[in-house]
Amino acid sequence: MDKDEIHLRRLPAAAPWGPHADSEFHGVDFLPEDLNEAPEETGMRVNKKYSCLPAEEKGIHIINIRAIEDIGYDQHESTLLNSLSKNPDADCKYGLYFRDGKRKVDYILVYHYKKSSAGKTLTRRVHHNDSSARSTKQDQPLPGKGVQLEMGESEPHVDYHEDDKRFRREEYEGNLVEAGLELERDEDTKIHGVGFVKIHAPWNVLCREAEFLKLKMPTKKMYQINQTHGLLKKINSVIQKITEPIQPKVAEHKPQTVKRLSYPFSREKQHLFDLSDRDSFFDSKTRSTIVYEILKRTTCTKAKYSMGKGEGRKKETTLLNKRRKCGKYGITSLLANGVYSAAYPLHDGDYEGENVEPNDRKLLCEEWASYGVFYKYQPIDLVRKYFGEKIGLYFAWLGVYTQMLIPASIVGIIVFLYGCATVDENIPSMEMCDQRNNITMCPLCDRTCSYWKMSSACATARASHLFDNPATVFFSVFMALWAATFMEHWKRKQMRLNYRWDLTGFEEEEDHPRAEYEAKVLEKSLRKEHKHKEKRQYFPEETANKWRQRVKTVMARVKLTDKEKLTWKDRFPAYFTNFVGIIFMVGLTFAIVFGVIIYRISTAAALAISSTPSGRSSVRVTVTATAVIINLVVIIILDEVYGCIARWLTQIEVPKTDKNFEERLIFKAFLLKFVNAYTPIFYVAFFKGRFVGRPGDYVYIFHSFRMEECAPGGCLMELCIQLSIIMLGKQLIQNNLFEIGIPKMKKFIRYMKLKRRRSLDHEEHMKKKQRYEVDYNLEPFAGLTPEYMEMIIQFGFVTLFVASFPLAPLFALLNNIIEIRLDAKKFVTELRRPVAVRAKDIGIWYNILRGIGKLAVIINAFVISFTSDFIPRLVYLYMYSENGTMHGFVNHTLSSFNVSDFQAGTAPNDPMDLGYEVQICRYKDYREPPWSENKYDISKDFWAVLAARLAFVIVFQNLVMFMSDFVDWIIPDIPKDISQQIHKEKVLMVEVFMREEQGKLQMLETWKDKDKRKGENCNNHSPRLSRSHSGSLSSCHSYPLDV
C-alpha cells in the first residue's frame, strides 16, 4: 500500500451496509453504541446528507463520519478524503494552516502514543474535517484490533492504559466535532511518539461563541475622540515631539483621533459590525480564546479501563459503571490524567530569520523583546493584541511602576548625596572619631573579648550618617506619598486601558468548576448514594406502605441528583492542614533566623579569640556580611520550597474555580515568601540590641551565648547592609539568573531527549519542522503569579525599610529596566503562547500593594524612631544640650560601669590589652551610674526618649496616613476625558439602536402600504376575469406570507 495512504479501518467484504444498489453508501459511522460491551463490533449509522466512497473499493480505509446540524450551516458537498498532497508543508505554511492551506490552526492538542511492536507505525496525517465536511470522527487502529495484520506479524501486547487514553481521545474529539470544531490529526512528525490534533473554529462557531462570551467587537460606527484645546494641546504636541524617539515603531502605539464604537457581538445584529474581512474580524487571540472555552466545557465520560478485557475489567465493573455515568472529564482533567500531554495556541510564526514573513511576534521581538530598545516605551496595545488583556495589564502595570521609580530614585540619590556632603559636619560622628576623648568601651563578649576604644568604630559611625540623617525622615514621608500617588496613577492608567481595550462594563462571569472540584463533588454524591442504598437494605418495604415508600425513594433520588456542593465541613481537614502547615513554615523561618543569630554570636566570639589586633576591628563587618549571605541563600532556597508548599496547600482545599484557586494560592505564597524575605530584616531593625541587658547582668541564650549588641552608631548601618545584600542578591540571582538560566537548561534537556529519540533518516531530519512542533519544544506558560510575586516583594523592599536605604528605588529601577525586556523575551521566544484571558484589573495584587503601602508607613515610623538615633538627637538637642548644639551627645548616650561588678568568669582574660588598667568602661544605654544610690537602674532620660519615640510614631503615622488619603481623594480614579468618552459611547449606541428601530418601523409601514394597495387592486378586478388570472389573485394574497 502507498506510504501516504490513510489507514484507519478496513471494511469487511460482506459488511451489511443495507440497500445500495448503485454501489454507494451514505454517512458511515463506526461508533459502537456501548464500547464496554462490544469492543470488537462496529455500529453504523446512515445519513443521506453525505456521500462517500463506492463499495467496490473493498480495501480502502474510511474515516468515521457523523453529521451534525448547526445554526445557519448547511452541507451540500460530498465527503471524500484524499491522500496527502505532494507539497503539504508549503500549502499549510508549515503548520499554521490545515492541509488544504485555507483553514487556520487555532489550537493544538498534543498526545503521546506507543508504536506497535510488530513494526513501524504507519505514517498518518488524518483529517477530522475537510472543507466540505465539518462533522467527522475517526477511529484509530488499535494494537490487535480493527486492523488486519500482515503475514508474519504477531499480535502485539495490549496496554489497557494506552487503550483507555486512546478511547477517551476519540470520544472527546468526537464531542469537539459535535460542538462545531474542525479537527485534523498529524502523527507524521519529527518528534516520534507524539501526535498532534489541529483545531480550527469555523465562522459560525466563532459567531456563536462570541455571542455567548459577550465579546465586544468594533462596529461600523466611528466617532471622533475628544481632543485637548488651547495650552494643553500645545503642551501635548511638544511632549509628543520630545518623546517621539522613545516611542515604539508599531501602528498600535500611534495616537488615534477616531475610534470605532464597540458592542457585544450578536448574530442577530451582524449588520452593525464591519464584516468586510471575515478572516481578520476575529484575531488569533480571540479565536484561541473561543476554542479554549469550548475545550473547557466539552466533556468526556469514558471510565478508566472502560475498554479493558479480562480480570482487570471484571474486578471493577460496578465502580467503573458509576464513574461512567457520573464522571466528566474536560480538557483540564484530560491533561492532568495524561490523555493529552499539552494544549496550546500557536505563535504567529518565526521571530528571526531572513525569509520570515512579517507577523506580530516578529514585530514584538524587534520593538519590545530586545535589550537594545530598553529606553523605549512598551507597545502595550500590541502586547494585548497578541497575548490578551491579563498579560497586557501586567506589563502595563510593570511599566507604570518602573516610570514611577524614576522620581523616587532621583530623590533617593539626593538624600544619599546630602549624607555624603554633611558627613564631615556631623558632630556625633566627629566625637566618636576623636581619639582625644579616650572613651573606653566594655567588652563585646565574655572572657575572650577585651576592652576597646570607641574611636575604632569611627568608620562605622561615619557610614551610618550617610543613611541616618534628617533627610531620611523627609524621604520616608516622600515615599509614603509616592506609594499613594503610584496607586492612584495606576488606577487612572487602568481605566484608560479599559476604555481603549473595550473593557468598560465587562464583568467577569463565574468560571467553569475545576476538574478536581467536580471529582470531589462526584465522590461525595457517590458516598451519599451508597449510604442511602444501605438504609434501604436495612429497612425493607412493608406491603401496606409500599406506595408511600416508593414515593420517598423517588424523592430521595431526586435529592441525590441535585448539584452537590463542598461545605466547610468537607473542607475542614484541608483548612486545618493549611493552618498547621502555614504556622509550621513560619516557625521554620523563625528557627532558621535564630540559627543565623547563634552563628553570628559564636563566630564573633571565635574571631575575637583567633584574630590579630588589626583583624579584631573588622570582626563586626565580617560577621554581618557572612550572616547576610547565609540568609540570602536560605531565602532563595525556601522561596522555591514555599512556592511548592503553597500550591499543595491550595490544591487540598479544592477551590471551585480557577480564579478562587489563583487568589488562594497568591495569598498563601505571598504570606510565606513575605515572612521568609523580611524576617532577618525585621530582626535587625527591631530586635537586635534591644534585649541585651547590661554589663554584669547580660541576657544569655542557652546559658552560654550572650545576645549581640548594635554598634555604637546604632543598628541602622547594619540594617542597610542586610537590606541591600538581600535585595540585590534576590534580584540578581533568583530573578534574573534563574529566569535566564533555568529555561535555557530545560530547553537544552528537552533538545537532548528529542535528539536521542529522533530517527536517523536523513530525509526526515532535513525536513523543516511544523509550527506546532517548534512550539511544543517551548516551555509551557506557568501563569503570572511568579512575575507579580517578584515585583511585589521588590515593592516591599522599596517602601517598607526605605528610611534605612534611600538607594533602594534606584536599584529597583535598574533591575526593572532589565526585567521588562527579560520577561518580554521570555514570553515571545521561550514560552508557548498562553491562552488570552480577559481581565479589567490586576486582581488581588492591587489589594496586596495597598496593604504594603499602609504597612510601610508604620514600619518606617518605627525605624526612624527606634532604630535610628534621630529621636535621641532631638531630645538631647532640645532638652539637655547646654549650648544648643550636638556637642556632648555621644557622652550623653553612654552609661558607666565599674569593672569590679563583673560576674565571676565574665571579666576579660587580658584586662591590660589597651596598655593600662581600666576602672570604668562605658556602654550604650540610659542607666544610672555605679556611684548613684540606684546604680544601673534605668534613668529618667530613657523614659523621656521612649515617650518622644512613641509620640513621633503616632504623629508620623497619622500625618502620613492623612496625607496619603488626601492624595487618594484629590486624584479622581477615572480621568475626566475618559468618563466623557464612555458617556459619549453610551449616547451613540442609543442613537444607533433608535435609528435601527425607526428604520424597522418605516419598513413595516411601507410593507403595509404596499399590501393595502395590492389588496385594493385585487378587489377592483372585474368578476368576468378569466381563470388565467387566478394565479395573480393568489399571488396578491400570498405576499404577506412571503414577508
DSSP string, 641-703: HHHHHHHHHHHHH--SSHHHHHHHHHHHHHHHHHHHHHHHHHIIIIITTTS-EETTEE-EETT
Is 50 exceeded by the pLDDT of residue 56? no
Grid coordinates representing 381? 496595545
φ, ψ dihedrals at 269, nearest 5°: -115, 35
The pLDDT confidence band at residue 947, using thresholds 50, 70 and 90, is very high
Query: How far is Cα 378 from Cα 248, in angstroms, rounded to an integer?
Result: 7
Of the candidates 743, 648, 730, 644, which has an alpha carbon nearest to the alpha carbon of residue 681?
Answer: 730
Mean of the pLDDT values across residues 342-368? 87
DSSP string, 377-411: PP-HHHHHHHH-HHHHHHHHHHHHHHHHHHHHHHH
Q: What is the pLDDT of residue 415?
A: 92
Q: What is the pLDDT of residue 316?
A: 42
Spell out the alpha helix ranges (H) of 228-379: 231-243, 278-281, 284-297, 311-315, 317-326, 331-336, 360-367
Burial of 253 (0-12, 13-18, 19+ CB in 10 A): middle
Mean of the pLDDT values across residues 520-531? 78
Mean of the pLDDT values across residues 451-456? 84
Mean of the pLDDT values across residues 352-381? 87
Contact 725, 928 (CB under 8 A): no
766-770, 828-832, 901-905, 963-967: segment of lowest average pLDDT: 766-770
Of the candidates 512, 508, 510, which has an alpha carbon nearest to the alpha carbon of residue 840?
Answer: 508
Query: How far is Cα 357 from Cα 361, in angstroms, rounded to an integer?
Result: 10
Please write the tens of the pLDDT for every residue from 978-1022. 888 888 888 888 888 888 888 888 888 888 888 888 877 766 654
Strands 125-127 and 216-224: unpaired
Query: How far is Cα 743 from Cα 402, in angstroms, rounded to an integer?
Result: 25
Which residues, at least 6 apart from 526, have a Cβ–Cβ distance to it below 8 Å?
322, 326
Is 90 exceeded by the pLDDT of residue 124? no
Q: What is the pLDDT of residue 288?
A: 92
Q: What is the pLDDT of residue 176?
A: 92
Please write the tens of the pLDDT for every residue from 628-652. 888 888 998 998 899 899 999 998 8
Mean of the pLDDT values across residues 173-202? 87
The pLDDT confidence band at residue 828, using thresholds 50, 70 and 90, is very high
Q: What is the pLDDT of residue 557?
A: 46
Query: How far is Cα 838 from Cα 393, in angstroms, rounded to an integer?
Result: 10
Is 70 exceeded by the pLDDT of residue 72? no
Contact 754, 776 (CB under 8 A): no
The pLDDT confidence band at residue 136, using thresholds 50, 70 and 90, is very low
Contact 461, 428 (CB under 8 A): yes
Is 80 exceeded by the pLDDT of residue 435? no
The pLDDT confidence band at residue 794, using thresholds 50, 70 and 90, is very high
What crossing angle do the helices spanning 568-610 and 619-653 adopt, rounded to 10°? 170
Coil, helix or strand for 262?
A: strand
Please write the tens of the pLDDT for every residue from 888-944. 888 888 899 988 888 887 888 878 877 888 888 988 888 988 888 888 888 898 999
Please write the tens of the pLDDT for every residue from 893-906. 889 998 888 888 78
Please write the tens of the pLDDT for every residue from 255-312. 777 888 888 898 888 888 888 888 888 989 999 999 999 998 888 775 444 433 444 4
Mean of the pLDDT values across residues 438-465? 82
Of the candidates 725, 845, 726, which has an alpha carbon nearest to the alpha carbon of residue 783?
Answer: 845
Is 70 exceeded by the pLDDT of residue 8? no
Spell out the alpha helix ranges (H) of 826-911: 844-862, 870-875, 889-893
Q: Find where cell 550618617 sits.
A: 465
Query: How far is Cα 636 from Cα 726, in angstroms, rounded to an integer?
Result: 10
Residue 114: Cβ within 10 Å count: 14
- Between 142 and 481, the more confident residue is 481
Contact 826, 772 (CB under 8 A): no
φ, ψ dihedrals at 453, nearest 5°: -85, 140
Coil, helix or strand for 441?
A: strand
Which residues, at least 6 apart from 199, have a Cβ–Cβ distance to it below 8 Å?
105, 106, 107, 108, 109, 176, 181, 182, 183, 291
Mean of the pLDDT values across residues 761-768? 53
The pLDDT confidence band at residue 65, using thresholds 50, 70 and 90, is very low
Please write the tens of the pLDDT for every residue from 33-54. 333 343 333 333 333 333 333 3
Q: What is the pLDDT of residue 73?
A: 37
Q: Distance between alpha carbon 643 and the CA centroid of its chain, in Å?
A: 13
Q: What percent of the chain has pLDDT over 90?
A: 20
Coil, helix or strand for 705?
A: strand
Q: Is 872 left (phi over 0), alpha (psi -120 to 50) or beta?
A: alpha
Is 60 exceeded by the pLDDT of residue 479? yes
Contact 924, 714 (CB under 8 A): no
Mean of the pLDDT values across residues 95-122? 74
Query: How far is Cα 519 from Cα 834, in angstroms, rounded to an integer?
Result: 26
Question: Could you write out the three-class secondary structure of 146-181?
Answer: CCCCCCCCCCCCCCHHHHHHHHHHHHHHHHHHHCCC
Query: How far is Cα 496 from Cα 255, in angstroms, rounded to an integer?
Result: 13
Query: How far is Cα 923 from Cα 694, in angstroms, rounded to an integer?
Result: 8
DSSP string, 714-768: -SHHHHHHHHHHHHHHIIIIIIIIHHHHHHHHHHHHHHHHHHHHS---HHHHHSP
Mean of the pLDDT values across residues 516-525? 78
- Between 832 and 79, the more confident residue is 832
Q: What is the pLDDT of residue 552?
A: 55
Mean of the pLDDT values across residues 710-718? 76
Q: What is the pLDDT of residue 404?
A: 93
Grid coordinates representing 241? 515631539
Q: What is the pLDDT of residue 707?
A: 80
Contact 746, 475 (CB under 8 A): no
Is 60 exceeded by the pLDDT of residue 126? no
Grid coordinates representing 138? 475517526
Q: What is the pLDDT of residue 203?
A: 92
Query: How far is Cα 50 from Cα 78, in angstroms, rounded to an integer?
Result: 5
Is 90 exceeded by the pLDDT of residue 90? no
Is 70 exceeded by the pLDDT of residue 6? no
Is 90 exceeded by the pLDDT of residue 108? yes
Per-residue DSSP letter, 905: T
> What does the angle CA 279 – CA 280 – CA 282 come to, to the nearest 5 degrees?
95
Q: What percent of the chain has pLDDT over 70?
A: 75
Q: What is the pLDDT of residue 383?
A: 93
Mean pLDDT of the chain: 76
Query: How far is Cα 860 from Cα 474, in angstroms, rounded to an integer?
Result: 11
Terminal CA-to-CA distance of the chain, rounded, Å?
58
Query: How far is Cα 806 from Cα 716, in angstroms, rounded to an integer?
Result: 12
Contact 362, 386 (CB under 8 A): no
Grid coordinates representing 764? 526526515
Is 90 exceeded by the pLDDT of residue 951? yes
